[in-house]
Amino acid sequence: MVPNIPSASPAFSIGQRIRDLRKRAGLSQFQLAERAKVNPATMGALERGSANPRFSTLVRIAEALHATVTDLFTLKVPTPSGGQDFYVRETAKLLSRRPLSDKRLALEMIKRLLKDKRR
């Protein structure tokens, strides 16, 4: 870890992104640290941008957030104002790491929901 990283640094931006994604997932820092197998103090330092994470740590954090490492480097947080594509991307992201049986179940649920809406 490298202390005293300026706020314009990539580490600060990644830390902000981790915090944004964590909050969107409804997780506390401690919960995310546990899921990602990261020391809670380290997680706090990463979010503040006062530490440079290893790539393996970023992978574990992304997996714990059901995101990709690329998502951690995306500066703009997608919002519902992004239109329909936002919801399609978010649904795909949620399902991307689920087993095939869950994907089939989700598809069947969506089909039934849409069928009911047509009535």
From first to last of its 119 residues, the chain has per-residue pLDDT tens of 434 444 445 556 888 889 989 998 899 999 999 999 999 999 999 999 888 889 999 999 999 998 888 888 875 544 555 555 677 777 888 888 888 888 889 889 888 888 866 65
Domain final position from 39, 58, 73? 73
pTM of the shown model: 0.57
Provide the angle, in degrees to the nearest 10, between the axes of the packed helices 29-36 and 55-64.
110
Q: Is residue 56 part of a domain?
A: yes
Statement to judge: residues 14 and 68 lie in one domain: yes
How far apart CA 89 and CA 1 sit, in angstroms, is: 33
Q: Is residue 92 part of a domain?
A: yes
CB distance 97 to 66 below 8 Å: yes
Domain that holds residue 47: 10-73
CATH of the domain at 55: 1.10.260.40
Statement to judge: residues 84 and 53 lie in one domain: no
**Spatial CA neighbour of 36 closest among 67, 63, 4, 74:** 63
